[in-house]
Amino acid sequence: MTTDRFKNTGSVILPVMLLAGASFWLLQSLTAPQQAAGPALSAATYDATIEAPELITIPPRTFEYRDPARYIENELPQISPLVHAKVQTPLNVAKNLVTNAQYRQCVLDAYCPPAITIKTPIDDHPVVGINYEMAEKYAAWLSAKTGENWRLPTALEWAQFAGEKYDDPEKDIQSDPTNPAVAWLSEYRAKSKSKSTTPSQSLRPAGLFGANSLGINDVAENVWVWTSTCYERINVDATNSQSKAISCGARVVEGAHRTYLSVFISNPQGGGCTVGDPPDHLGIRLVKGGDKPDFFSFLRRLWPFGSSIKA
Amino acid sequence: MVTRRQTIFGALGTAAALTAVANLAPQALAADNIDEMPRKKVKLVPPPFVHEHEQVASGPPQVIQFEMTIQEKVWELDDEGTVTHAMTYDGTVPGPMMVVHEGDYVELTLINPETNELLHNIDFHASTGALGGGALTEVAPGEQVVLRFKATRPGTFVYHCAPGGSMIPWHVVSGMNGTIMVLPRDGLKDDKGNPLRYDQVFIIGEQDFYVPRDENGEYKTYETVSESFSDQIETMRGLIPTHVVFNGKKGALTGDNALKAKVGEKVLIVHSQANRDTRPHLIGGHGDYVWETGKFNNPPEKDLETWFIRGGSAGAAFYEFLQPGVYAYVNHNLIEAVELGATAHILVDGEWNDDLMKQVSAPGPITK
């Protein structure tokens, strides 16, 4: 295992974001690791009046992408490997975030719970105050209504359509194996730097932040989106043998920076122990079609260390 | 029908007359030799920092002159764009901290510019008489006043605006408060009388805000400060703040504005709350020596985890950083810290001490 691939780091964001709900999601993941997706879609059957969202097709492309799994090697936290991704199939992505007006139809259908927000939702604003389960339910509902396969993107797919808006979450992180504070401080400073250039939390009508170079609106602005990618920790010991723990009680959330959130969180807050930089708002971006690519088989293909990875 | 300004000035009454007397003949009320005492003009510095000062007085008592201009201004409370009409001493929430030594005279020029809408004054908890100076300092827009008082008791003390009736809490929860620190002439001491010297002072002014909401749950905005009065009083009477923040705004002391220190540095954290009880806590650190009530003639408490600041007081905590990292300094009502905003961050550089803490085994599979 080459050392320049793996730099030592401590993770700030991870403990930070998970602290609030750690006990809950741990419990959840232990008791129901493969929870089925919500109640039956009896209320949601095909309905020609429900319009499918406008689509943008992302052509096959090659990009750098940071593996969202957290790595520990010989008891030391590592910076996750940078993956050189070559995606050979096109991806259909909704041009806009799901709006309040769109989400409300699912609520009126008694299938989705209302978004958790104290402010009155404005029709053409992106829906926010959404936890993972709500996002999943909306995708299931829209699929039933349209007869198409709508789902949440994987973290990899998010990077694929984020284009130039994808910012390597760990590029400025320094580390020192004898001083974990070096990583904490550099991560804090890197995130604070980006904070000063991020837009305010005030929501704007969908599309108003404009499109990225691939034609997708409002990417990495003030609404973060849920991905279907589960939280994963990989331990590598001195003999190069691996063990991993996957918990789908927490998922990767993508936006101006990457974070990991417990699935029931709809309004993350900063402050307190949470010295990380939380998402401003949590919303939904959908992709269409295909089965979820098998992320792990994909990663195995890209894995720089070949056969050292066990399934 | 009376105009708004007349209504607001309605409470002036006798205090205004007293102000006039004090202005005309300040010397008559003063002690003998103040005219001959050395005088020093000090320019105030916005929190979280403090003007340069000696920790041990190098000479005899002096008259320390300060000047503050009251500014009523539209004030952003968070990064969601919530605004209120703040009332401020010198443009900041909290107002700047003044530092003098016991036995010095504080001489404050308080200016209320014509552009303001309201009557203001100042009540120094460190002073004696005249409602803390409040009765001698009422100034209408377009006026100024000069107050002098003797700093007789060493400690950290709140000052705030107190123009009478409902105006008192309204002005205080609109941001009109700050701290004066009266140091012992020979500086701070531990419980055994050994000197304590700090490398930095951080001023944390904790502020509760009560922003009214409309029927849709949106925060309301008002064109002028006086228009917000009746709604605000109603929200205040519910006693549940919408924001509890450090230094005027959620995030005022985090991110780019986080405080900075080094391992081995000694800091004095002065924490004021002019209206409501609070309980500061340094996550991952302690209070080595804490004057919870802020009064330096009492020995400091040692090794505290959390300390109590009574509403209407300022306390001081002395701490030497022993470990690098990102520290969160919070009101340990964690709902107020995380949900309402009462959090500051301190970035501490330096060498990690494995003896104090070490991750013996990283998170991994359960082995037994």
The answer to whether B246 touches B206, Cβ cutoff 8 Å, is yes
Mutation for B interface: A8, A70, A175, A188, most B CBs within 10 A? A188
The per-residue pLDDT for A300 is 45
Query: Do residues B169 and B213 share a domain?
Result: no
pLDDT by residue for chain B (368 residues), tens only, comes to 334 443 344 344 444 444 444 444 444 445 558 888 999 999 999 999 999 999 999 999 999 999 999 999 999 998 788 999 999 999 999 999 999 999 999 999 999 999 999 999 999 999 999 999 999 999 999 999 999 999 999 999 999 999 989 999 999 999 999 999 999 999 999 999 999 999 999 999 999 999 999 988 889 999 999 899 999 999 999 999 999 999 999 999 998 899 999 999 999 999 999 999 999 999 999 999 999 999 999 999 999 999 999 999 999 999 999 999 999 999 999 999 998 999 999 999 999 999 999 999 988 888 87
What does B75-118 look like in DSSP terms, one character per residue? EE-STT--EEEEEEETTBSSPPPEEEETT-EEEEEEEE-TT--S
Query: Do residues B131 and B211 share a domain?
Result: no
Pairwise CA distance, residues A38 & A113, whole Å = 11
Is B17 contained in some domain? no
Dump pLDDT digits (tens) for A115-173: 998 778 899 999 999 999 999 999 999 999 999 999 999 999 999 999 999 988 787 78
Residues of A in contact with B79 (CB under 8 A): 200-201, 280
| A180 shares contact with chain B (CB less than 8 Å) | yes
The answer to whether B245 touches B77, Cβ cutoff 8 Å, is yes
pLDDT by residue for chain A (311 residues), tens only, comes to 333 444 444 444 434 343 334 333 333 333 333 334 444 565 567 887 888 899 999 999 999 999 999 998 888 888 889 999 999 999 999 999 999 999 999 999 999 999 998 778 899 999 999 999 999 999 999 999 999 999 999 999 999 999 999 988 787 788 888 898 998 898 888 777 555 555 667 889 999 999 999 999 999 988 999 999 999 999 998 888 888 889 999 999 999 888 888 899 888 864 323 445 677 899 999 999 875 544 544 454 454 443 333 33
Query: Do residues B131 and B235 share a domain?
Result: no
Query: Do residues B50 and B173 share a domain?
Result: yes
Is B194 contained in some domain? no
Q: How many domains does chain B have?
A: 2
The per-residue pLDDT for B348 is 98
Query: Do residues B165 and B73 share a domain?
Result: yes
CATH code, domain carrying B252:
2.60.40.420
Query: Do residues B231 and B334 share a domain?
Result: yes
DSSP A279: -
Is B280 contained in some domain? yes
Check whether B98 is labelled as a binding-site residue.
no
The per-residue pLDDT for A79 is 86
The per-residue pLDDT for A138 is 97
What does A185-212 look like in DSSP terms, one character per residue? HHHHHHHHHHHHHSPPS----TTTT-B-
- Exposed (0-12), middle (13-18) or buried (19+): which is B185, by Cβ within 10 Å? middle
What does B112-163 look like in DSSP terms, one character per residue? E-TT--S-B--EETTS-SGGGGGGG--B-TTEEEEEEEE--S-EEEEEE---
Is B190 contained in some domain? no
Query: Do residues B167 and B220 share a domain?
Result: no
Is B232 contained in some domain? yes
Of B121, B154, B184, the residue at which a domain comes to its end is: B184
The per-residue pLDDT for A308 is 35
B48 cis-preceded (ω within 30 degrees of 0) = yes
**What is the extent of the structural domain holding B49?**
35-184
Query: Do residues B336 and B270 share a domain?
Result: yes
Give contacts of B 330-359 with A, CB under 8 A.
330, 334, 337-339, 341-343, 345, 347-352, 354, 359
Strand stretches in A237-292, DSSP E: 242-254, 259-262, 281-283, 287-288
The per-residue pLDDT for B351 is 97
Of B128, B157, B184, the residue at which a domain comes to its end is: B184
Query: Do residues B165 and B83 share a domain?
Result: yes
Strand stretches in chain A, DSSP E: 55-58, 61-66, 70-73, 76-78, 82-87, 91-94, 150-151, 223-236, 242-254, 259-262, 281-283, 287-288
Of B130, B154, B184, the residue at which a domain comes to its end is: B184
Query: Do residues B103 and B171 share a domain?
Result: yes
The per-residue pLDDT for A306 is 37
Mutation for B interface: A76, A185, A310, most B CBs within 10 A? A185
Residue B338 CA: distances (Å) to CA of A131, A269, B75, B305, B328: 19, 6, 21, 19, 11
Dump pLDDT digits (tens) for B287-296: 999 999 999 9
- Exposed (0-12), middle (13-18) or buried (19+): which is A174, by Cβ within 10 Å? middle
The residue type found at B321 is F
- Exposed (0-12), middle (13-18) or buried (19+): which is B208, by Cβ within 10 Å? buried
Is B294 contained in some domain? yes
Give contacts of A 186-225 with B, CB under 8 A.
188-189, 191-193, 195-196, 200-202
The answer to whether B120 touches B161, Cβ cutoff 8 Å, is yes
Structure tokens at B84: 């209120």
Q: Are strands B280-283 and B63-76 parallel, antiparallel or unpaired?
A: unpaired
Is B364 contained in some domain? no
Is B136 contained in some domain? yes
Query: Do residues B178 and B219 share a domain?
Result: no
| A272 shares contact with chain B (CB less than 8 Å) | yes
Query: Could you give the percent of chain B with pLDDT greater than 90?
Result: 84
Pairwise CA distance, residues A145 & A130, whole Å = 20
Query: Do residues B226 and B294 share a domain?
Result: yes
Dump pLDDT digits (tens) for B80-90: 889 999 999 99
